[in-house]
Amino acid sequence: MARLPNQYLFVKTIVDAERLFDEKTKSYVVVELRDAYEYADGKRTDNVIGKNVTLMCTRDEEDYGVTKAGKKIPNLKFKQFDIKILNGAFEVPKGTRVKMDLGKLEKAVGYRNDFGEQVSIVFKDLDVIK
């Protein structure tokens, strides 16, 4: 039996980046920086293409409402997630406040794979808040 290539098995959705990175309701700090490597044929190469940045939301004033069962939906405060930036020279100390300029957004999609729900967010660069 023939097997479909993986790109046909993922269900992609668009991430609401305007809402996720809204400066009026949310603030973010850098928790960790790691080199982001290029992958070829499913294997990591030695070619660094940017940085993987772990962000933590330090302020989230948005009200997400309740579920159908009546439970309050928690906000993002103190939650961490990873994004990728294409600026390989980006270096800041942990705890540095940053903001995301949506003009520098390359892609923001969600998809499902063997590990469950995944999100891929890529920016050209981040802006440091002083």
State pLDDT tens for residues 40-83: 888 889 999 999 999 999 999 988 888 889 999 888 899 999 99
pTM for the structure as a whole: 0.81
Average pLDDT, the chain: 88
Quote the tokens at residue 33. 């920086």
11: confidence class by pLDDT, cuts 50, 70, 90: low
Local structure of 61: helix, strand or coil: coil
The C-alpha atoms of residue 86 and residue 100 are separated, in whole angstroms, by: 13
The C-alpha atoms of residue 113 and residue 126 are separated, in whole angstroms, by: 28
For β-strands 80-85 and 116-123, DSSP reports them as parallel
Q: Report the run of H or E that residue 27 belongs to, with start and end.
A: strand 26-40
Other C-beta atoms lying within 10 Å of the C-beta of residue 13? 13
